[in-house]
Each structure stands twice: as structure tokens, then as C-alpha cells.
């Protein structure tokens, strides 16, 4: 752990999402935007993380408190701009003398790798380090006014920019790093005499430069700063996230026959040598071991698929499904909270919920584990090598011994 604190700004209203769900609880890759931001802060070895929230966001507060504890939350009430938001975090960092890295909460594609060059600049003597990017279309962003390559003189917001400044393609990402005492001192001097009547965090850059401090910029790819402000941008961020995760998995040796039709979650683990056919959805919590094949039109969530197993086509694995080595789960088979032993087969039209299937067992078509009587749930256990005839309703709680045979119906 370093002497570093991350301050994540999330007190904005997210009005353009037009949704009763707070913006930062919307998900990309099955993970809330606020959690993506916290993931990055954690990867940056921040000893302290402070999330700045608005007063009217109880759902977000509860979400953040559940992960980081209530002490990680600073309330900005009312929200008067990004500079004002960072000042709101000061009370949550009493006496902190280390380095603060400020991040915005609405960029799901931001990575720790993109942020780390800021710390190199700081180590090389910069008082304030800001992260920028060159935008294909810079409209709406603050522009970095730079001299001598990477020396930043000030940041000008779109609304205050002159025509010449608007032609600048170097944009402010919103991420910056500075020592806490300097940052809070400069923020104390920021006013709100601007187009939005807000305290701009970006004004600290001009103030620092004027005071003779060294302000330097590092640049990263525009893609990592793609912000989410509307439902359409959320979908764009999701698409970009999917492209990135598919490429990462393919580079790591996973075969995706039609990558653009495979949907992944932030935590999907597919081992090298896994084959995924077209049109498969991996909801969160899935791990697939080497040599397994996931066939078309399958939906997996919270499931483990062991080596050599074949799942699908048209299979549904729900949380707690544990599919053993070389086992087969076929078409229209649903598995929930069941451990399926090595080499077992359930190939057609079956529900396996709550219990276990022993190694080498054969589950006939149309078998149902009747796990719920309308009040409580019960388990079904099928022993190793057992044979369940087609169209069998196993009314739980029930056990079938190893090697046993049941007739059809
Ligand atoms: C900001 C930057 C701009 C940069 C852009 C990058 C300022 C003044 N401008 O502009 O230079 O190019 O981000 O995307 O900093 N927030 C609060 N409290 C507030 C206001 C905002 O917590 O009072 C949070 C929001 O929830 C959001 C983030 O700060 O996560 C950015 O706020 P937003 O209003 O979207 O800033 P931009 O206008 O996009
Ligand atoms: Ca924004």
C-alpha cells in the first residue's frame, strides 16, 4: 500500500440517463459503473478510497457502504461542481498528507494501466499530473492548454473556450493526481465565476501553473475515457467493453467462433483451450476449465464447467451449477445448485435443481428434480452410475443409490 488516496466523484444527478436507477448503478459487463471505478482505485494501490455522493442517493450509498464501509462515503450537498466535490472529500481524509488521485465515476472502460503514468510524472517531479487524451471529436470536453509538449498551463472548459481553444484536440479526462495539501489549498482558491456557476476542479491546474508549480500531462487512448451519460452511451460502453474482453480472451488462447455474438461479464474466466460456439451469454460468476466446449445458444451464470465437459446447445446453467469433467449437459437442460459428477450425462429436456448427480450417471430425457413443494426447497441425490429412465419426476427429498436403475415415467 502506498500513501495514496483515490477520490471518486459520483455526486452528479445523471439526469440524461432518464432513469429512476442512479447512473452509477447501471451496469457494464454485469458490474455497476461505481464498482468499475472502485476496481481501478484498488488496482492503483490506494490506501484510502473516498466516494463522493449526492445527498439524495440512498441506493448508491448503501451499495458503496456494503463494499467499502460507510467511512468511504463523503456527501456533497448540494453538488456545486467537480472542484467542490473534491473538497467534500477532505473531511473524509483528516490529516492526510499523501497523494490524491481524482477519478470520475462514469467511465467503465478506464484501466489502472491508463492512470499509472500520472504517478511516473509525479515521481519525476510534477506537482500536479493530469491525464489527457486526443479526441476525434473534442466537443464537450475541457481542453488541455499545453506548452513544450506536456507542460499544462491551464484547462479551459468548452463553455469558456475561445474558438482557437476549441480547436485544440488535447482533452482533459478528469483524472488527476496531486499531493493532498496542495490540492486542497488550490481548491480553496477556486471561484465559481464561470458559465455554469460551478467550482471547477480543472481551475486548480491554472492556479498551480501560475504559482510556479510544475503541471504535466500524460496521454492515454481516447477509448478508456468513453463516458456514460445516457442510455445510448451506456450501450456504446457495453459494446466497447465486450470487444475488449473478447480480444483479451482470444489473445489468452480461448476460441470464440463468432466473437461478436458471445457476451461476457467483467469476471468471466475462460481457460486457454475453451471453445465457445456462436450466441452464448456468460452472466457474472462463470468459470470454464481447459478443454470444455460451450455450444450455441447457452446461458451461463454463477457456474463452474470443468475440463472436457460439453454444455449445450440450448443449455441453461444457473448459480451453483458445477459440471464435472467430461460431463454432458445437452439441449433444454437447466441446472441450478447441482454438482454433476465426472462423465455424467443429462442430454435432453431436464431440470436439475438442488442436489447432486454422481459420476457416470445417466439422466434420461424429461427428468425433473421436483425441488419445491410450494413452501420449501428439498434436495435430490442421484448416485454414481445410476440410470434415471425418461420422463421421471423425482420428488425431493429423494435419493437414488449408486448403480440403481429407474424405469421410464
Ligand atoms: C468534466 C471536466 C472536463 C472533462 C470531463 C471529462 C470539470 C469542470 N470538467 O466535465 O474538463 O473533460 O469531465 O469527462 O471538471 N460531479 C460531482 N459533483 C458535482 C459535479 C460533478 O460529484 O458537483 C461528478 C459527476 O457525478 C461525474 C463527474 O463529477 O461523475 C464529472 O462531472 P460532469 O458534470 O459530468 O463533468 P463534465 O462536464 O463532463
Ligand atoms: Ca461527464
Q: Which atom of ligand 1 is nearest to the CA of 81?
A: 23
Q: Are strands 48-54 and 73-76 parallel, antiparallel or unpaired?
A: parallel
Tell whether the model's pLDDT for residue 1 goes beyond 70. Answer: no
The tens digit of pLDDT for each residue in 348-394 reads: 999 999 999 999 999 999 999 999 999 999 999 999 999 999 999 99
pLDDT at 10: 97
Residue 132 near ligand 1, beta carbon < 6 Å: no
Residue 79 near ligand 1, beta carbon < 6 Å: yes
* Percentage of the chain exceeding pLDDT 90: 96
Cβ atoms of 74 and 51 within 8 Å: the answer is yes
User: What are the residue numbers of the active site?
Assistant: 348
* Average of per-residue pLDDT across 254-259: 98
d(CA 135, ligand 2 centre) in Å: 14
Query: Could you tell me which of 34, 123, 129, 112 has the C-alpha nearest to residue 73?
Result: 34
Instruction: Identify the band that residue 114 occupies on the pLDDT scale cut at 50, 70 and 90.
Output: very high
pLDDT at 13: 80
* Average of per-residue pLDDT across 281-293: 98
pTM of this structure: 0.94
pLDDT at 223: 92
Residue 84 near ligand 1, beta carbon < 6 Å: yes
Residue 17 near ligand 1, beta carbon < 6 Å: no
For 163, 179, 316, 347, the CA distances from 262, given in Å and listed in that order, are: 44, 44, 15, 23
* Average of per-residue pLDDT across 19-27: 95
* Start-to-end CA span in the chain (Å): 62
| Residue whose CA lies nearest to ligand 1 atom number 36 | 82
Q: In sequence order, what E strands does 87-208 have?
A: 99-104, 128-134, 143-147, 151-156, 170-179
Report which secondary-structure segment, H or E, holds 37.
Answer: helix 33-43
Residue 161 near ligand 1, beta carbon < 6 Å: no
Tell whether the model's pLDDT for residue 46 goes beyond 70. Answer: yes
Q: Is 160 left (phi over 0), alpha (psi -120 to 50) or beta?
A: alpha
Q: Which atom of ligand 1 is nearest to the CA of 78?
A: 23
| Residue whose CA lies nearest to ligand 1 atom number 17 | 11
Any idea of the CA torsion for 41, 44, 47, 52, to the nearest 10 degrees? -20
Q: Which atom of ligand 1 is nearest to the CA of 104?
A: 30
Amino acid at each position: 500500500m502506498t500513501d495514496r488516496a483515490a477520490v471518486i466523484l459520483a455526486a452528479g444527478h445523471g439526469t440524461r440517463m432518464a432513469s429512476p436507477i442512479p447512473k452509477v448503478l447501471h451496469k457494464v459487463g454485469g458490474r455497476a459503473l461505481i464498482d468499475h471505478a472502485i476496481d481501478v482505485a484498488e488496482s492503483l494501490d490506494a490506501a484510502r478510497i473516498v466516494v463522493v455522493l449526492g445527498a439524495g442517493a440512498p441506493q448508491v450509498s448503501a451499495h458503496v457502504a456494503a463494499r467499502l464501509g460507510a467511512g468511504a462515503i463523503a456527501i456533497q450537498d448540494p453538488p456545486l461542481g467537480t472542484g467542490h466535490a473534491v473538497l467534500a472529500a477532505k473531511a473524509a481524509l483528516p490529516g492526510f498528507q499523501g497523494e490524491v488521485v481524482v477519478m470520475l465515476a462514469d467511465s467503465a472502460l478506464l484501466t489502472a494501466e491508463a492512470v499509472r503514468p500520472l504517478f511516473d510524472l509525479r515521481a519525476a517531479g510534477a506537482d500536479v499530473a493530469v491525464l489527457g487524451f486526443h479526441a476525434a471529436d473534442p466537443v464537450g470536453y475541457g481542453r488541455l492548454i499545453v506548452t513544450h509538449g506536456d507542460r499544462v498551463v491551464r484547462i479551459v472548459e468548452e463553455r469558456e473556450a475561445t474558438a482557437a481553444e476549441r480547436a485544440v484536440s488535447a482533452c482533459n479526462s478528469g483524472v488527476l493526481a496531486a499531493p493532498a495539501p496542495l490540492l486542497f489549498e488550490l481548491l480553496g482558491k477556486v471561484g465559481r465565476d464561470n458559465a455554469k456557476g460551478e467550482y471547477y476542479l480543472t481551475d486548480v491546474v491554472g492556479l498551480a501553473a501560475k504559482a510556479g508549480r510544475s503541471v504535466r500531462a500524460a496521454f492515454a487512448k481516447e477509448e478508456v475515457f468513453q463516458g456514460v451519460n445516457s442510455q445510448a452511451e451506456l450501450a456504446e460502453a457495453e459494446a466497447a467493453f465486450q470487444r475488449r474482453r473478447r480480444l483479451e480472451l482470444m489473445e489468452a488462447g480461448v476460441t470464440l467462433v463468432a466473437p461478436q455474438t458471445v457476451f461476457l461479464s467483467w469476471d468471466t474466466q475462460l481457460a486457454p483451450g475453451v471453445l465457445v460456439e456462436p450466441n452464448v451469454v456468460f452472466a457474472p460468476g462463470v468459470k470454464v476449465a481447459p478443454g470444455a466446449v460451450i455450444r450455441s445458444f447457452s446461458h451461463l451464470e454463477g457456474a463452474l464447467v470443468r475440463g472436457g465437459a460439453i454444455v449445450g446447445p440450448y443449455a441453461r446453467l444457473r448459480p451453483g451449477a458445477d459440471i464435472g469433467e467430461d460431463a454432458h449437459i445437452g439441449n433444454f437442460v437447466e441446472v441450478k445448485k447441482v454438482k454433476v459428477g465426472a462423465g455424467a450425462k443429462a442430454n435432453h429436456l431436464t431440470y436439475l435443481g438442488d442436489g447432486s448427480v454422481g459420476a457416470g450417471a445417466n439422466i434420461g430425457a424429461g427428468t425433473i428434480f421436483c425441488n419445491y413443494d410450494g413452501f420449501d426447497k428439498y434436495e435430490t441425490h442421484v448416485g454414481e452410475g445410476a440410470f434415471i429412465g425418461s420422463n421421471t419426476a423425482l420428488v425431493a427429498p429423494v435419493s437414488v443409490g449408486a448403480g440403481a436403475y429407474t424405469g421410464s415415467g
